[in-house]
Structure 1
Amino acid sequence: MKYMLMVLGNQAEYDAMEGKSDGSVVWTESTLKAMFDYMGAINDDLAESGELIDAQGLTAPAEAKAVTVRDGRTVVSDGPFVEAKEVLAGYWLVDVANEQRALDIAARVYECPVADGSVVLPVIVQPVDSGSGEA
């Protein structure tokens, strides 16, 4: 069964990772390294087990574009949407034996090292629609 495991973030966290923090959250080089090493180990383990389809981290929300169409014209605006507090920061697409395995991987993802003061959001686990009417 295929599942997408999604991690959420916000612009303030991305800013803090780039050293542009308001002081409430400070990502050090060692904390960033610990996070990337941890995520890399998850990716390596999933690749070795044959469960990993894809995994990507996304750029900051400030780099996102929202596209709509009005009166037949494409309208492009900055950011995913104004009201967004949390946005998709990255994902894993996995093919696993069952839902419990996907939940176990998500629990491991949730334990990733973060900077002191960071708000750790839940990992969202959602089945991928196979197109057969069943997840």
Structure 2
Amino acid sequence: MKYLVMVQGSQADYDALGGKASAHSPAWSEKELRAMSSFMEELNNDLAESGEMVDGNGLAAPAATRLVGLGEDGRPVITDGPYGETKELLAGYWVLDCESLERVTEIAERVLRAPAPEGSPVYPVVIRPIPDAGGGDV
């Protein structure tokens, strides 16, 4: 079964990764960034080696986001980010092909152990099954 595994973040988290602390998140040092990058690289390599990795990527900061919606007149309304009303956004994802929900849950628990500066926010990892095109759970 395929699963979408998502990690969340906010613009303040991306700013912290760039060395700008806030009340929301402490600034990351170069050493902490390297440790997190090494952790994620090892995780991705393990998932590729096990054959469970289908795809995965981190995403650009919310400030680089564009929202396309419809106005009251039915015409497109385009807004660039970040969005003050939005606390957390998708920060990265994996599409994994795992034998069971238990296995993908083990992977999500591992993601939670990624190194971060003390006081950094910890977001839950979201797991969403991806139904087969031929049916399955919706």
Same fold (TM over 0.5): yes
Task: Give per-residue Cα distances to partners, 1:6-29, cap 9 Å, x unaligned.
Answer: 001111110011122237502000
Structure 2 counterparts to residues 1-135 of structure 1, below 5 A: 1-22=1-22, 25-70=26-71, 71-79=73-81, 81-131=83-133, 132-134=135-137
Shift of 1:129: 2.3
CA contact (8 A) 1:26 1:116 kept: no
CA contact (8 A) 1:35 1:113 kept: yes
CA contact (8 A) 1:66 1:80 kept: no
CA contact (8 A) 1:43 1:52 kept: yes
TM-score (norm. length: structure 2)? 0.90
The number of residues matched between the two structures is 135
SS at match of 2:95: strand
Task: Give per-residue Cα distances to partners, 1:60-80, cap 9 Å, x unaligned.
Answer: 111101101233422110227
CA contact (8 A) 2:20 2:26 kept: no
* Structure 2: stretches of 5+ with no match in the other structure: none
Is the deviation greater in 17-26 or in 120-129?
17-26
TM-score (norm. length: structure 1)? 0.92
Once superposed, which parts of structure 1, at least 4 consecutive aligned residues long, lie more than 6 Å away? none
* Structure 1: stretches of 5+ with no match in the other structure: none
CA contact (8 A) 2:11 2:82 kept: no
Identity of counterpart residues, as a percentage? 47
CA contact (8 A) 2:18 2:27 kept: no
